[in-house]
Structure 1
Amino acid sequence: MDSDSTMETHTLDALSAQKFRSLVEAIADIAIYMLDPDGYIISWNAGAERFKGHAREEVLGKHFGMFYTDDDRAAGMPDRTLSIARNEGRFEGEGWRLRKDGQRFWAHVIMDCITDEEGTVIGYAKITRDVTSQRIASEQLEQARRELSQAQKLEAIGQLTGGVAHDFNNLLMVMQSTLDMIRLKSADPDQVVNLVGLAQAAVKRGATLTQRMLAFARKQELHTEVIDVYDLVNGMGDMLQWVLGQRIHLIMTLSKETDKVLIDANQLELALMNLTVNARDAMPMTGTVTFSARNVRVAQAHPTELPPGDYVCLSVVDDGTGMDADTLAKAADPFFTTKGVDRGTGLGLSMVHGLMEQSGGRMVIRSTQGAGTRIELWLPTASAQADAATSPAPARRPAPSPGAGSQRILVVDDNPLVRSTTSAALESMGHSTLEAASAEEALATIERDGAVDILLTDHVMAGMTGAQLTNLVKSRWPGMPIVLASAFADIHDNLPDGVVRLAKPYGRDDLVQAINAVLGKQARQARG
């Protein structure tokens, strides 16, 4: 290449460089500037001057750390930024930076390391954008989302509270009226018996309501056993047809090859009854309800979002009115119902949902307005070992009669009404009782009066819980028979051997069964 060509090339390079510098310096909304290898500013464009507030002559030769907050400078952020850019070739991040007037702005920063042909660092190109408005908008959006979430939670709590208050007010009204009438009719034994029956019915209704709420919260007491789905559902056929009535046709298409599942049979039957009632109410004239089941191998990323494994999909399908998208979205919410006043609490589907989740399964609802509803209960199959080891659920056995002679029973509960009624029931069986209002008082009673044959304690108490009391008593008096009463299912772990669980609310027959069970365990341990 001759000298004229070389000079022309150099001239073009100089012109291109000058145009590039002019372009960079003209950009008004982005700060673009250069740093030397030590981080000192060697160029400054109009964008940097506009939103940082410093003129060119005020920053040239200054270290770029001047734009950082005091805290970031104390933490060594400027040097760390240079180090990352030097070692990795680029740094990108966001953080607070300072304008000339001391105001902070949120900056998005990119710093590229520039090297010569030998790889020696000759400087850094730095690009800074003011993204304060975007950050504020993002924070406002996140705040709005939090407020919406909180509002939805409050709405759900309000809905739950309203539903519970309505149902329990009805129950309390029945019980109050019944007790008033018992007082008036005390001279007529037949009337008293009838009125007591009404009060007991109200109590059972309240117990059912609390069980459904616990099912929704996944805290109910489950008595799991290996269940043959084919036998259980077909065994309910007559009862389900009675619930549906003569105008609705019931079809069972279950196969005997359907795998067995591990679940609380009573709760599954109640769930199927709820689904049948819903299907009936969705068909005001006539229709068909179909029960079916199939074995399914669930793989990764299954639409149900269940863990991989073997499941039984039990389906209840009706050809009723179906649900629109809004109703379908709320179908499993507690106390949401499309039925009229006094035709249901709206806890049916939420109870089924809670049972499935607590049992390791899933409830899936598919519905189209005018085309019916399909509800699938996905249940994990039971292993052969579980089939051999599982015994029938205690709730399905008849309550035994009082036995084993008179026992001295310490009743522990922080509710004086519960203590009194439980003691009265035990004494009606021929036992004698002591009472304690707390776990601490119970321990003092046992230490003071060693002649305690059985400890019967509530779980949820202020201070020390019943489970904690149980462990402590078993460590100090290993032979003490203990009955632990609770409505919750989350206290199974770490309970000593020989403790009998008593589900709340309980009646006299339940107490008889629990006392006999704990004495039976004590006798077996003594023989062993």
Structure 2
Amino acid sequence: MSGEGNASARGKEPPAGAALLAAADTGVVVLDADGRVVWSNDAATRYLGVDATTVGGLTAEVFAEQVAPRLADGEGFVDAVSEGGVDGPNRELHVVDGAEDRWLERRTHPIEDGEYAGGRVECYVDVSDQKHALDRLDRRERTLRAVHDILLDRSRDLDDRLDELLDVAGRMLGADHAAFARFGDGRVLVENVISSVDAAVAPGHAIDTSETIAGVVSGRDALVHADDAAERWPDRHPVGVAGDAGLDYYVGVPVAVEGEQYGVLSFADAAPKQGGLDWELTLLDITANSLGHELANSIREDRAEEQLQQARREFESLVQDVEDYAIFRLDPDGHVESWNRGAEEIKGYEERDIVGEHVRTFHTEADREIGYADELLDRARERGRAVDTGWRVRADGSRIWVNAVITALHDDDGELQGFLKVTRDMTERRAREKQLEHERERLEFVNRIIRHNLLNGMNVVEARANILEGHVDDDVAPHLATIQERVEDMTDLIETMRTFMKAIVEGEEHESQPVALDDVLDDELAKADRAYDDATFEHDELPDVPVLADDLLPEVFENLLTNAVQHNEGPTARVRVETEVGDDEVVVRVLDDGPGIDEAVMAHVFEKGQKGFESPGTGFGLYLVHEIVDSYGGRVEATNRERGGAAFTVGLPRP
């Protein structure tokens, strides 16, 4: 075959420029005005699996039918090629029958002049690398979300969460064996195991630290990663495995609690892994750190329970008028003997209705079935005190979240006389604290990922793109400029998010203070006017009035103005800003003349990652607006206007 590619069986000359196209990585198929194949190059043969020497002269439909069996959607490909449209949207093709899984992007261009005028050129670009990279990003996002949800789900037992965490992390690393073990007295105690390895042991197994690779992790006090573990440490084996199981691949990361080594997360497999695992290992390191915090919380709770002092004997006379606490005495078997005003208020029972009833009366049906009330009494008998936080049932059947302390009462001879129970209604406080704690920890987790991964990654992309500047031809230069511009935009967005989350999480420089609203609006309107040539921005006289905010306020209006322009489908966008000064707040409305907000996304428009109606943005702009305004004690709403378009209303408190 010559460098001119494959000519038609009808003897026509190859198209102009064929010498260059013949060796190109882009698959090229040329069709004449009758819709017949007249030329194709080697890349087309390689990608599409057709015999280049025989396709010449075939109609577009027959050509497509030969290619179709190799594709995941062969029927769709035949329809697209047979229709013969040009300048249409790009179409991805998934090649499933071949030496390797491949993704192609099909592009169709008309031939305007020359021998084949009226025909078209079919181009097939290999985008497999980009497609696989997106798949990897998707898997990473799902893993990150799963790890985040497991670590912050305080409603579940930590031991159950550890099992799930090992499963998720093991699948992320491609390891068949995963275990968590605790260090102590020169031994490693296995506490959790998720494994398909025959030699795996059950939780509770203990072994000398020197016989496990966990000892290496402990000695280095850092993550250990090896593809030749059996050869490197022939006298040691992974935690949770009895003896030599031929597990060459190993990852171990230490878990510290309050600055001290506590245990180790271990993962192992028989086969070494292909490709880099930098992102996965970084996430595993962060996961171990977060797990250490969870273990510290659990240990502190147990410690607090054990260190509680024993209460004195009955003191009904001292607590009878207390209304914030239910304080009452139980006999040695757990029956109510006394009742105070707080107990009546919290539990809903009058004294005559509850005295003589067993304490299990206040427990949920599920707790009664497992005998949880008796378990708490037994714990108080053995330890002197039992502390519990959980759901209880009031007289009317409603549930309340309480903190309860049961203290064993003994006489001078040490004989059990009964129990004193003090209960506090924590329902409202629990809901408030749970929401605040969840949001704060989520921001801390995301902020850590932004610092360690996203920003560093964007800096690398920016540096590499700058190196290419001046070394690309005129056709590629606009694409490079677009990359540089988008990298700069994303870096600015990441910096904004870091500033915002630092203010929320760390509480630094985020105290609201008087800010001149007219200056902020004037600056942002001017910036938007310069940025969008085809948009018109209108406003009445801006009010000379301060609002309670901080230096993030410009971000609010920059995002709202940008949102108004980007969601306009017409050739021009018209945006109007209206203000209204009230006694307690100043209202700013950003109105556009676009298509409005789809009712399907209206309720979720301020949620993170919500783009809405084919938005070109990141999906974080409106979420950022909501979070900033909410931190000021303000409000933000989205509605559709009767005359068309969307309206975003921001209410900012006055000093």
Structures share a fold, TM > 0.5? no
TM-score for the superposition, normalised by structure 2: 0.31
TM-score for the superposition, normalised by structure 1: 0.37
Higher relative contact order (CA 8 A, sep 6+): 1
Structure number with bigger Rg: 1
Higher helix share: 1
